[in-house]
Amino acid sequence: MEHILGQEWEIVPAGGATGEAFYASYKDQRLFLKRNSSPFLAVLSAEGIVPKLVWTKRLENGDVITAQQWLPGRELKPHDMNHENVARMLRKIHRSEPMVGMLSRLEKQPLKPEAIFQSVVVDLDEEVLSLPVVIETLSFLLQQVENVFCDEKVVCHGDVNHNNWLLTEDNQLYLIDWDGAMIADPAIDLGMLLYCYIPVDNWTSWLAMYGKPLTENLKLRMKWYVALQTLYSIQFYKNKGRLEEMDKWINFLNDLL
């Protein structure tokens, strides 16, 4: 990275799973650098969903480096997810036509429930598949798959965990880490956010801030996608050897059903 910015810049790894992200600082300039970000980043920046994209540079080897503003701030805490600014930001994302258009140009097709189901179940190993709660969940998912079709297809983030929300010191809210973006049912984002952070008694009022009524159909779609995402999480943490977190999601699934 030094040969792009110059030797005077201090560059440190930003952590993360890929090791492809860095923080860079020089005097009062601060940047967040990432290798091979999606072209989708430009639209996210233009829409005010992520910190501003400053520049993009293509290297001789074909890699693309993007630089965004590195803004001082903090991740949201779980209790922050009940705030109106979170509901409004998610509504803005789900109603953005430029974002749908850009993902479509990147050859992202709208995902149907059956395709998402297959993409998760194919990776479940025999040990996970033999768990009674997983057997019960798969039965529920198959029984309801035809009832969760939704005409509305929006850009979904796919991982609205509180750690992916950035609140800056000047009170600007951003949703970062868009590597799993997809065009799909908004219930994918809404379900995990509500089930993980919002008491059931507050769902109606939270969704009113978002701009949607809590219908029986939306409840079913959210439960369906949350169950599917939980199966993914159980297998993910098992693969990582993080068995305590795997057990947490197994218990979550028991409570869900």
In sequence order, the 6+-apart residues with CB closer than 8 A to the CB of 79 are none
Q: Strand locations in the chain, DSSP E?
A: 10-13, 21-26, 29-35, 53-58, 64-69, 73-75, 154-156, 165-168, 173-175, 182-184
> Which residues share a beta bridge with 34?
21, 66
- Euclidean distance between CA atoms 227 and 3, whole angstroms: 47
* Paired tokens of 170: 């000047």
Q: What does each C-alpha distance from 221 to 17, 78, 148, 216 come to in angstroms?
A: 30, 23, 5, 9
Give how far the C-alpha of residue 4 lies from the chain's centroid of Cα atoms, to the nearest Å.
30
Hunting for tokens 């039965």 — which residue is that?
139
Show which residues are catalytic: 159
